[in-house]
Structure 1
Amino acid sequence: MKQFNIYFDIETIPAQSYDIKNYIQNSLTAPASYKKPESISAWIEENKEQAYRKTALNGGFGQVVCIGYAINDGDVRVIYFDDWASSEKQILQSFFNDLIECYRPSADITPHFIGHNIENFDLRFIYQRAIVLSVKPPSFLPLNSKSYNNMYIFDTMTEWAGKRNYVSLNEVCLSLGIPPKGDEIDGSKVWDFVKEGKLKQVADYCTGDVEKVRAIYKRITFQNIT
Structure 2
Amino acid sequence: MLSQVNVEDILFIDIETVPQHPNFDELDEVFQGLWEKKSTFFRNEEQTPADVYERAGIYAEFGKIICISAGVVTQRLGERVYRVKSFYDDNEKKLLAQFNDMLNKFMSHSGKRVCAHNGQEFDYPYIARRTLINGLPLPKALDIAGMKPWEVKDKLMDTLQLWKFGDYKNYTSLNLLCAVFNIPTPKDDIDGSQVAQVYYEDGEIDRVIRYCEKDTLAVANLLLRYKGEPIIPMENIQVV
Higher Rg: 1
Q: Which residue of 1 aligns with 2:237?
A: none
3-state SS of 1:151 partner: helix
Deviation of 1:24 (Å): 4.6
Of 78, 87, 96, 1:79 maps to: 87
Gaps of 5+ in 1: 35-42
1:143 offset after TM fit, Å? 5.0
| Mapped partners of 2:96, 2:175: distance in 1 | 26
What's the CA shift for 1:183?
A: 4.5
TM-score (norm 2): 0.75
Q: Deviations over 1:141-199 (max 9, x none)?
A: 35557365331122111111343420111110111111123343111110000012110
Q: Cα offset for 1:54?
A: 1.8
Deviations 1:180-219 (A, max 9, x none): 2334311111000001211000000000000100011111
1:6 alignment partner, SS class: strand
Separation of aligned partners in 2, 1:94 and 1:116: 22
After superposition, where does 1:1-226 map in structure 2 within 5 Å? 4-16=9-21, 18-19=27-28, 21-24=31-34, 26-27=36-37, 43-45=46-48, 48-50=50-52, 52-73=53-74, 74-81=82-89, 84=90, 87-105=91-109, 109-141=110-142, 144=145, 146=147, 148-149=149-150, 150-161=153-164, 162-195=167-200, 196-223=202-229
Report % sequence identity.
25
Unaligned runs of 5+ in 2: 75-81, 232-240
Answer whether contact 1:6 1:112 (CA < 8 A) is retained. yes
1:38 is aligned to none
> How far is 1:125 from its partner?
0.5
Q: RMSD across aligned C-alpha pairs, in angstroms?
A: 2.8
Structure-2 change in CA distance of 1:117 and 1:30 (3 Å): closer
TM-score, structure 1 as length reference: 0.80
The CA distance in 2 between the partners of 1:144 and 1:12, in whole Å, is 24
SS at match of 1:134: coil
